[in-house]
């Protein structure tokens, strides 16, 4: 059967690669599914989106994105339930956020109907790449790049919006130890920390490598001015459980407004857990670790879902976190995944069904 779409041009692959993929041994983001979407912006408007076989695309070396980093992205997941139905989780949030990110980088906004039509078209074609079972998903990576040729430092007049998909299992295969940033910063007031701008991640790699040399997989970033307040970690927002309270930093122009973060806040409050969204001082967390009040620290983001941290380093001192029964981390991960995989009631209306048949 031909796939019908009003607004998209579709070219199906003649050679699916799905049988070459070992779905039990995926390394995150390495393998892409059969199809991708590209849509070009030129002469002040977006052209017709095209869904076509995933593959390389020629670009001129002078393309602006290579020189000035005009690039923003999103990360979302498609889940399959036991009946073969396919679900997205709060996709409007991703759509809104990529346009918020784009605006900050002087990139034109992408039309909503293209975004959803393209997603649904790809997911329909590549539905067999989405495996059922908790932990399995198809990671979806929409992104936009400045494609005008010419190395002058000015915003591109041409862009390409692309969506690629990668089958995924768990993101971090081993438990995570983190270090608290005291020298380097991820973002600053008035900057682009709130945007999923490609350059934010490039700037984290070097300090994160230094942390890795010391045995820490990630850095918890602190505010750039004083390094006294905890912000976020890699591509995750961070939660601290002190006693029975859950603490997390408020979002602002330095911190990414994570969808997993806001979903955990809602689930925790619904569960009667007290959540304090406020600045969290390094001092306070170190004190709580010393006096035994600090029960858990975990990261939260689409790629990783919820990752409990084993412990953290501050000032060359390592604080090991206790092993707690019924941790908030595992409880809210279960609740979140039960909603994502259509295994629980969706009282917040977060699930979005993609018709794939
Ligand atoms: C993507 C990301 C997050 C998590 O956002 P989600 O919407 O939950 O995936 C948190 N922090 C940073 C810096 C990120 O890039």
Ligand 1 center to 236 CA (angstroms): 5
Which of 171, 218, 302, 307 to probe ligand 1 with, by most ligand atoms within 8 A of CB?
Answer: 302
Ligand 1 center to 304 CA (angstroms): 10
Whether residue 99 has its Cβ less than 6 Å from ligand 1: no
Assess contact for 68 and 187: CB atoms under 8 A.
no
Whether residue 258 has its Cβ less than 6 Å from ligand 1: yes
Closest C-alpha to ligand 1, atom 12: 235
Question: What residues contact 317, with CB distance under 8 A and at least 6 apart?
Answer: none
* Counts of helices then strands in the chain (DSSP H, E): 7, 20
pLDDT of residue 172: 61
pLDDT of residue 52: 98
Ligand 1 center to 261 CA (angstroms): 8
Which of 75, 254, 264, 300 to probe ligand 1 with, by most ligand atoms within 8 A of CB?
Answer: 75
pLDDT of residue 174: 73
Whether residue 236 has its Cβ less than 6 Å from ligand 1: yes
Tens of pLDDT, residue by residue over 341-351, are: 999 999 999 99
Which top CATH class is 176-324? alpha beta
pLDDT of residue 81: 98
Tens of pLDDT, residue by residue over 132-157, are: 999 999 999 999 999 999 999 999 99
Closest C-alpha to ligand 1, atom 13: 235
Selection from 48, 22, 51 nearest residue 35 by Cα:
51
DSSP state of 26: P
Whether residue 75 has its Cβ less than 6 Å from ligand 1: yes
Q: Is the overall model pTM greater than 0.85, yes or no? A: yes
pLDDT of residue 47: 98
Q: Where in the chain is the domain with CATH 3.30.470.10?
A: 2-168
Selection from 201, 134, 156 nearest residue 344 by Cα:
134
Closest C-alpha to ligand 1, atom 10: 236
CA–CA gap between residue 35 and residue 37 (Å, rounded): 7
Closest C-alpha to ligand 1, atom 5: 258
**CA-CA distances (angstroms) from residue 151 to 68, 104, 121, 313?**
9, 20, 35, 42
Residue in this structure with the two tokens 């346009």, named with its chain if needed: 99
pLDDT of residue 171: 67
Ligand 1 atom at minimum distance from 302 CA:
9
Q: Where in the chain is the domain with CATH 3.20.10.10?
A: 176-324
Which residue numbers in the chain have pLDDT < 50? 1-3
Pairing of strands 218-222, 176-180: parallel
Ligand 1 atom at minimum distance from 263 CA:
8
CA–CA gap between residue 136 and residue 170 (Å, rounded): 8
pLDDT of residue 118: 98
Assess contact for 75 and 302: CB atoms under 8 A.
yes
Residue 244 token pair:
């029975």
pLDDT of residue 165: 98
pLDDT of residue 3: 47
Q: Check if CATH label 3.20.20.80 holds for domain 2-168.
A: no
Closest C-alpha to ligand 1, atom 15: 235
């Amino acid at each position: 059967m031909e796939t019908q779409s009003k607004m998209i041009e579709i070219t199906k692959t003649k050679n699916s690669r799905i049988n070459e993929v070992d779905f039990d041994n995926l390394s995150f983001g390495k393998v892409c599914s059969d199809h991708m979407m590209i849509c070009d912006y030129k002469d002040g408007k977006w052209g017709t989106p095209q869904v076509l076989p995933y593959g390389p695309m020629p670009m001129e070396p002078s393309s602006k994105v290579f020189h000035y980093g005009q690039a923003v992205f999103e990360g979302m997941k498609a889940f399959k339930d036991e009946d073969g139905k396919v679900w997205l989780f709060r996709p409007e949030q991703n759509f809104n956020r990529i346009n918020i990110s784009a605006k900050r980088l002087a990139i034109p906004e992408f039309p909503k109907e293209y975004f959803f039509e393209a997603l649904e078209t790809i997911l329909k074609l590549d539905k067999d790449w989405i495996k059922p079972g908790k932990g399995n998903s198809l990671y979806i990576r929409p992104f936009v790049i400045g494609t005008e040729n010419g190395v002058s430092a000015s915003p591109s007049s041409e862009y390409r919006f692309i969506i690629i998909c990668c089958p995924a299992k768990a993101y971090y295969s081993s438990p995570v130890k983190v270090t608290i940033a005291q020298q380097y910063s991820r973002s600053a007031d008035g900057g682009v920390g709130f945007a999923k701008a490609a350059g934010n991640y490039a700037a984290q790699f070097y300090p994160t490598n230094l942390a890795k040399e010391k045995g820490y997989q990630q850095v918890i970033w602190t505010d750039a001015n004083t390094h006294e307040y905890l912000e976020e970690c890699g591509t995750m927002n961070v939660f601290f459980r002190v006693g029975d309270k859950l603490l997390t930093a408020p979002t602002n122009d330095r911190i990414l407004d994570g969808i997993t973060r806001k979903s955990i806040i809602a689930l925790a409050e619904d569960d009667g857990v007290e959540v304090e969204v406020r600045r969290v001082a390094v001092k306070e967390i170190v004190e709580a670790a010393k006096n035994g009040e600090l029960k858990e620290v975990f990261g939260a983001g689409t790629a990783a879902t919820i990752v409990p941290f084993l412990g953290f380093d501050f000032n060359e001192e390592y604080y090991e976190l206790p092993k707690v029964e019924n941790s908030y981390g595992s409880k809210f991960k279960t609740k979140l995944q039960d909603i994502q995989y259509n295994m629980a009631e969706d009282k917040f209306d977060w699930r979005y069904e993609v018709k794939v048949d």
